[in-house]
Amino acid sequence: MSDELDRVVITQPVLSGSGPLAALTTMQVCAVADADDKEILLVCNRDNPSGTTGGWQRVIRKRTEKIDGPGPCADYPGRIHYLVQC
């Protein structure tokens, strides 16, 4: 596996939302803190295609009232768990 692939790892290919997330198709990735959206989406669309026309389109980087993410990785310091949305 190349260094680029190791920078972003898909940890949960499909998350079933509840409440405000019920209508969203999301997955979780674990990425190094300096990974940008383009890098994360490249890995997501290549390694876990969403099956939708537009593919994975958005990296959720901020917590909101409706979305509880992102957060630090408990296993690997310096990495962050992000949600990715179609």
Indicate the domain borders of the chain.
Answer: 3-85
The whole-number pLDDT of residue 22 equals: 55
pLDDT by residue for the chain (86 residues), tens only, comes to 344 448 999 999 987 665 555 556 889 999 999 999 999 999 999 999 988 889 999 999 887 666 666 899 999 999 999 999 98
- Global confidence as pTM: 0.81
Q: How far apart are CA 49 and CA 45, in angstroms?
A: 5
* Strand pairing category for 26-32 and 58-60: unpaired
The whole-number pLDDT of residue 2 equals: 43
H-only helix segments in 1-86:
3-7, 37-47
The whole-number pLDDT of residue 18 equals: 59
